[in-house]
Amino acid sequence: MPTPFYLAGNPLIAEDYFRLQESIFLKEKHVEKKVPSPAIEEVSTAELSEDLRDFVSKYLLPLKLNRTHLFNTRSIPDILNNSYTMGEAVVNFKQLNDYRNINKFLETVNERLAPGGLFINNMETHRVRKDRILKNVPAILRSLYYTFDFLYHRIVPKLKFVRSLYFKKTKGYGRVLTRAEAIGRLYACGFEIIDEKKIDGRLHFVAKKVKEPSFDRNPTYGPLIYLRRVGKGGKIIKVAKVRTMHPYAEYLQQYVFNKNNLKEGGKIKDDFRISRIGRVFRKYWIDELPMIINVLKRDLKLVGVRPISTHYFSLYPESLQRKRTQFKPGLLPPFYADMPKTLDDIIQSEMAYLNAYEKQPILTDFKYLLKILKNIVFGGNRSA
């Protein structure tokens, strides 16, 4: 009989073990005796659906079994236990929504994985949760019921003055998470998503360790945020804006760009990071009003190229990068004077403005300001 396979320290019962051997994880040449660790809630492989087995086995079959660990836990000490060796993969069947300290848990998994190691986990998105909890609620009460659930399990945990009471009451179970926040947390904690699939009402994902966590101890959840943008001289400035994206979305710019690319106007196509109310704020520039603070602080001027992230900055040709860093960015960009359609059009528009500004700064900004106001007031052009 093959060497027993320990699931987070618990020997699998024979039925589960042989089912596991036949259907997914086991390759006999990879089996080595494992040292049992303290008991953790046992995962019964008999409860795993065929689709989930297939999804997990696709990534675990090529790995060494003694460097792969399966959990069904929300406990950080379980992951930290030193009686086994972490390495190529960690699979946890407990959903992300139930972790008491999500980032700390993910940082701990990152610590116990080798570079390039895989973390396989799942979550219930807020849309799936809405459908689930409202399924048996009378239609007349649905809006009120879901609003309360969203406020209690989504907003309250992020409010400093009541969050301790919330976690004392709920123990951290069942928080509402958006896909953007969950994936953003993974990226903040040093992972990169390599696969996602909806199985059995949950979003299952495979994340690869690509770096050390960022250890962001002061994540911003409130309506006013400060974004890191490239300013004059290449200096990073913090630009004030009204939040339009879900928390941790700032870590996902490269991820979203790689999956969706750019749409007309140079924006990211089908950007799931933007909240519903955020789309309204963007349409009417409400999100950009706090940038007046940066104008008063003299980080920005009234008219000028848009302050952009380091990722977007890297998409520009070196000639425009050099030209951009010679001058301050602006609150009202030449984009709204020229209304370019593609990234190449935006590059040409900004270069034309900067060349003109370099020769005649005051006159150039005055001409662009008039054209921008004309397009906004009379042309009905809006942000996106």
The CATH number of the domain holding residue 194 is 3.40.50
Q: Pick the residue with more confidence: 22 or 255?
A: 255
Within this chain, do residues 349 and 368 fall inside the same structural domain, yes or no?
yes
Instruction: Answer yes or no: is pLDDT of 8 > 50.
Output: no
Query: Residues 195, 205: contact at Cβ < 8 Å?
Result: yes
Question: Does residue 350 belong to any structural domain of this protein?
Answer: yes
Total count of residues recorded for the chain? 384
pLDDT for 26: 38
Cα separation, 251 vs 230, whole angstroms: 16
- H or E, element range at 26: none
User: Per residue in 94-127, pLDDT tens?
Assistant: 999 999 999 999 999 999 898 999 999 999 999 8
- Alpha-carbon torsion, ordered 60, 62, 68, 74, to 10 deg: -20
Give the pLDDT band (50/70/90) at residue 86: low
Q: How confident is the model at residue 267 (pLDDT cuts 50, 70, 90)?
A: low
353 close to 368: Cβ distance less than 8 angstroms: yes
For residue 149, tell me if it sits in a domain.
yes
Decide if 358 is inside a domain: yes
Q: Which amino acid is at 376?
A: I
Residue 28 has pLDDT above 50, yes or no: no
Same domain, 232 and 315: yes
Tell which wins on pLDDT, 298 or 82: 298
pLDDT tens-digit profile of 59-73?
887 776 567 777 888
Range of the domain at 76: 6-125+177-209
* Domain co-membership, 62 together with 135: no
The dihedral built from the CA positions of residue 336, 339, 343 and 348, taken in this order, carries a sign that is negative
- C-alpha distances out from residue 317 to 237, 259, 323, 334, Å: 21, 22, 10, 18
Neighbours of 267 (CB within 10 A): 13
> Quick one: 190 and 86 in the same domain?
yes
Residue 77 lies in a domain: yes
Of 174, 162, 289, nearest to 223 (Cα)? 289
157 with 181, same domain? no
Residue 252 lies in a domain: no
Is residue 155 in a domain?
yes
| Together in a domain, 131 and 71 | no
pLDDT band at 206 (very low <50, low <70, confident <90, very high): very high
Residues 299 and 365 in one domain: yes
Contacts of 360 (CB under 8 A, 6+ apart): none
Could you tell me which of 107, 132, 106, 103 has the C-alpha nearest to residue 121?
A: 106
Mean pLDDT of the chain: 82
Flag whether 239 is in a domain.
Answer: yes
Give yes or no: residues 151 and 71 share one domain.
no
18-22, 89-93, 109-113, 377-381 — which is least confidently predicted? 18-22
Number of domains in the chain: 3
pLDDT per position as a tens digit, 317-365: 999 999 999 999 999 999 999 999 888 999 999 999 999 999 999 999 9
Residue 36: band (very low, low, confident or very high) from pLDDT cuts 50, 70, 90? very low
Q: What is the pLDDT, as a whole number, of residue 50?
A: 79
Residue 225 — pLDDT band, cuts 50, 70, 90?
confident
**Residue 38: predicted pLDDT:** 36
- Cα separation, 156 vs 166, in Å, equals 7
Q: Is the pLDDT of residue 89 over 90?
A: no
Tell which residue, 68, 67, 111, 65, has the closest CA to residue 92. Answer: 68
Q: Is the Cβ–Cβ distance between 103 and 177 less than 8 Å? A: no
Indicate the Cα dihedral angle 26, 27, 29, 34, nearest 10°: -10
Shared-domain flag, residues 65 and 156: no
Average pLDDT over every residue of 174-189: 93
Of the chain, the percentage scoring pLDDT greater than 90 comes to 49
Q: Let me know whether 152 and 299 are in one domain.
A: no
Same domain? 27 vs 63: yes
Pure H helices in 48-159: 50-60, 76-80, 102-112, 126-134, 139-150
Report yes or no on 215 lying in a domain.
Answer: no
Contact 231, 216 (CB under 8 A): no
| Residues 354 and 240 placed together within one structural domain of the fold | yes
Question: Cα separations (Å) of 230 from 258, 295, 325?
Answer: 21, 15, 8
User: Residue 15 — very low, low, confident or very high, per pLDDT cuts 50/70/90?
Assistant: very low
